[in-house]
């Protein structure tokens, strides 16, 4: 199963993420976003970081989750390549994020991301039972 | 498909295109797009047009929901969007300013000519690149404490000048003298501060850049002379950056806060990204106070960078600063909300003017202009893309009457980043530019391809529309010689 794909917009870039359940779709959305910053295959699992996110709805939860990862990159240069996510309910993410601090000698830093946006934002369950999420990022 | 706009967007004249408020239930005012017919199809296709319509829903909006000719898709507001709301009963929307609060440009002049600089261009580009932190994840050379950051947020450019970065004259030639007065650092979150602390004095990445340019056309000798632009071939330096992570986080924080407020005040908006609150409400006032902090941070940022530009030129050219004549022409914000007074239906009204990817364009005689520009109007700085031109213009009386003293801000994208990149490597772009005599240094070759010339509208076409519509008047045109791309 495909984990994510990139959506094209005029000024910026979007992510369409897939998953069998909500935790998987949130994890894949994060991987998709990080792949825009660097090649996530080059990111080693040298540290892990626990994150808790709450939001009033599952759409906002996606924006808050991705914005937390943007914040960690912006302030600590943290890159991640794997996530273990538990969701006690639809509005809460408990995540363990595995990765390392960006190292310019090994990671090509492709572009910065200002923020995840609410534009065309969507987290939904499809007819076949799988989940899908779409989010546009301001570059 | 390409002409789908027909019947929806009505031609008022060659450069003004209107959308009637009957187009969609909820529109409070008509939409007005300044554009040529040839650029309309693009505006229609990337949904920027629909965003002009959405903005017209904002409570208290007066006149038109406006778009400048460089309009393209944004979040909530289109880029190139201008909207004025009444302070007494209207709203303020962070989406009307954007994520990069006070992203803007600063232009410096020199006494140098293209010929004098030519043998030094590689050295200059290299010196600027190493002296000014740029690119993704770059940290500034300035180490400031959290307490010091408060001063940056309160004082803006003046903070940098006090620290020895630049001179008092720079402040005179900066919009708002480089400081919005109602800034309140307590309204800026810890997260925003944490993002902003290491990034003060950095150019950043994406579309931010620093350019060594040569004047190649002068349209109004006298106005140009007032700005210190004397002849073609003269070297100018353009700095384009904003409030970095601090501004992005302020926008994030307040879209969330104002999103809740929008519901609480029962405001009906067609797009969550247009979250807003009454200007006079605590939420609206808090946003404006935080936005002012981010705007001031951006001015301090450009002030520090301008200082390092001067340093680099002095070192490489082996001449004194006076001899080089590195003076500031002007510094303008491209993403900002300002409280200004205009005549609305014959009455003087205090308005909150949102400019998102638009430039303030005050005419000659306006009391907010520094004395030196009072006879020509406020300088308007319009960067193009890397391979073509940039323009210097001035504000006009027509802008005061039609666009709340606003005009365009740049070229505007026409292609997505991945389309721009398709089959194009950053090194190809650098090669193509080098063949045209333009030297580019970038931290990321990928970002270079995404910002290739073909991804943008031709800035000349954009400026022609504003010229013909009369909302700004062009003074001079420049071409790039050396570019530092973040």
CATH of the domain at B97: 3.90.1860.10
DSSP B20-36: -GGGSTT--S-EEEE--
pLDDT averaged over chain A? 94
pLDDT averaged over chain B? 94
Report if residue B382 sits inside a domain: yes
User: Number of A:B CB contacts under 8 A?
Assistant: 94
Taking only residues 238 to 277 of chain B, the set having a beta carbon closer than 8 angstroms to any beta carbon of chain A reads 245, 248-249, 251-252, 255-256, 259, 271-273
Instruction: Report which of B414, B419, B273 is spatially closest to residue B356, judged by C-alpha positions.
Output: B273
Question: Could you report the per-residue pLDDT of B33-92, keeping only the tens digit for each?
Answer: 999 999 998 888 878 999 999 999 999 999 999 999 999 989 999 999 999 999 999 999
Give the least confident one: A103-112, B80-89, B273-282, B426-435.
B426-435
Give the pLDDT band of residue B1 (cuts 50, 70, 90): very low
Instruction: Report which of B77, B28, B418, B102 is spatially closest to residue A119, judged by C-alpha positions.
Output: B77
Q: Which residue of A has its CA nearest to B442?
A: A110
pLDDT number for residue B20: 96
User: For residue B402, what are the domain limits?
Assistant: 9-414+456-485
pLDDT number for residue B423: 66
Report if residue B45 sits inside a domain: yes
CB atoms within 10 A of CB B45: 16
pLDDT number for residue A104: 87
Q: For the residues A11-21, what does the mean pLDDT come to?
A: 92
H-state helical runs in B179-274: 190-196, 221-226, 244-264
Which of A11, A12, A121 is best to mutate for the B interface (most B CBs within 10 A)? A11
Active site (annotated) includes residue B72 = no
Report if residue B299 sits inside a domain: yes
Residue B2 has pLDDT above 70, yes or no: no
Question: Could you report the per-residue pLDDT of B338-391, keeping only the tens digit for each?
Answer: 999 999 999 999 999 999 999 999 999 999 999 999 999 999 999 998 778 999
Q: Which of A11, A109, A136 sits opposite B137 (nearest CB)?
A: A109
Cα distance between residue B429 and residue B484, in whole Å: 14
Question: Could you report the per-residue pLDDT of B211-246, keeping only the tens digit for each?
Answer: 999 999 999 999 999 999 999 999 999 999 999 999
Contacts of B414 (CB under 8 A, 6+ apart): A10, B42, B72, B455, B456, B457
Give the pLDDT band of residue B304 (cuts 50, 70, 90): very high
Instruction: Report which of B413, B473, B378, B332 is spatially closest to residue B80, judged by C-alpha positions.
Output: B413
A6 touches chain B (CB under 8 A): yes
Report if residue B419 sits inside a domain: no
Cα distance between residue A95 and residue A78, in whole Å: 15
CB within 8 Å: A112 and B100? no
Domain count, chain B: 1
pLDDT number for residue B172: 98
Report if residue B223 sits inside a domain: yes
The residue among A20 and B423 whose pLDDT is bigger is A20
Q: For the residues B302-315, what does the mean pLDDT come to?
A: 98
Share of chain B above pLDDT 70, in %: 99
Domains and CATH numbers, chain A: 4-138 (3.55.10.10)
Report whether B480 contacts B116 (CB < 8 A): no
Considering only the C-alpha atoms of chain A, give the largest distance between any 2 of them, rounded to a whole number of Å: 45
Cα distance between residue B229 and residue B174, in whole Å: 17
């Amino acid at each position: 199963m495909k984990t994510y794909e990139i959506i094209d917009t005029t000024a910026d870039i979007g992510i369409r993420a897939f998953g069998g359940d909500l935790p998987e779709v949130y994890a894949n959305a994060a991987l998709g976003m990080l792949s825009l910053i660097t090649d996530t295959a080059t990111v080693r699992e040298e540290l892990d970081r626990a994150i808790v996110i709450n939001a009033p709805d599952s759409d906002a939860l996606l924006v808050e989750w991705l914005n937390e990862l943007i914040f960690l990159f912006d302030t600590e240069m943290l890159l991640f390549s794997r996530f273990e996510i538990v969701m006690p309910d639809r509005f809460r993410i408990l995540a363990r994020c595995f990765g390392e601090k960006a190292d310019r000698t090994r990671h090509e830093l492709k572009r910065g991301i200002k923020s995840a946006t609410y534009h065309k934002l969507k987290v939904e369950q499809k007819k076949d039972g799988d989940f899908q999420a779409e989010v546009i990022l301001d570059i | 498909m390409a002409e789908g706009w027909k019947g929806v967007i009505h031609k008022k004249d060659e450069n003004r295109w209107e959308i009637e408020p009957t187009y969609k239930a909820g529109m409070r005012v008509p939409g007005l797009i300044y554009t040529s017919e040839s650029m309309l199809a693009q505006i229609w296709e990337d949904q920027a047009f629909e965003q002009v319509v959405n903005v017209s829903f904002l409570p208290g909006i007066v006149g038109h929901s406006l778009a400048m000719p460089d309009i393209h898709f944004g979040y909530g507001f289109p880029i190139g969007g201008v909207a004025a709301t009444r302070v007494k009963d209207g709203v303020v929307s962070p989406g009307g300013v954007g994520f990069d609060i006070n992203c803007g440009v600063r232009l410096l002049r020199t006494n140098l000519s293209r010929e004098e600089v030519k043998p030094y261009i590689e050295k200059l580009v290299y010196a600027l690149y190493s002296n000014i932190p740029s690119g993704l994840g770059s940290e500034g050379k300035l180490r400031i404490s959290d307490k010091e950051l408060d001063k940056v947020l309160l004082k803006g450019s003046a903070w940098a000048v006090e620290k020895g970065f630049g001179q008092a004259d720079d402040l005179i030639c900066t919009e708002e003298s480089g400081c919005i007065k109602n800034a309140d650092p307590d309204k800026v979150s810890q997260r925003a501060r944490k993002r902003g602390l290491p990034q003060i004095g950095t150019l950043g990445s994406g579309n931010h850049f620093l350019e060594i340019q040569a004047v190649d056309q002068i349209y109004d000798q006298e106005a140009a002379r007032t700005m210190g632009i004397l002849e073609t071939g003269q070297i100018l330096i353009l700095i384009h950056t904003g409030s970095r992570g601090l501004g992005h986080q302020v926008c994030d924080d307040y879209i969330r806060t104002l999103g809740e407020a929008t519901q609480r005040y029962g405001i009906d908006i067609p797009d969550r990204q247009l979250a807003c609150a009454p200007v006079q409400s605590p939420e609206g006032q808090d946003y404006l106070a935080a936005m002012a902090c981010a705007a001031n941070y951006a001015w301090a940022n450009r002030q520090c960078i301008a200082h390092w530009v001067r340093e680099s030129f002095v070192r490489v050219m082996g001449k004194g600063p006076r001899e080089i004549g590195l003076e500031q022409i002007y510094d303008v914000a491209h993403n900002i909300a300002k409280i200004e007074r205009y005549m609305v239906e014959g009455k003087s009204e205090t308005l909150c003017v949102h400019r998102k990817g638009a430039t303030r364009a005050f005419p000659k005689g306006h009391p907010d202009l520094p004395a030196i520009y009072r006879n020509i109007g406020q300088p308007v700085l319009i960067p193009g893309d890397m391979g073509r031109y940039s323009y210097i213009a001035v504000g006009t009386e027509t802008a005061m009457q039609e666009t709340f003293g606003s005009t365009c801000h740049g070229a505007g994208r026409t292609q997505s980043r991945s389309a721009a990149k398709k089959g194009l490597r950053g090194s190809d772009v650098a090669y193509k530019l080098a063949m045209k005599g333009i030297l580019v240094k970038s931290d990321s070759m990928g970002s270079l391809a995404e910002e290739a010339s073909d991804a943008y509208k031709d800035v000349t076409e954009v400026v022609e529309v504003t010229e013909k519509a009369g909302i700004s008047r062009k003074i001079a045109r420049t071409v790039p010689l050396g570019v530092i791309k973040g």
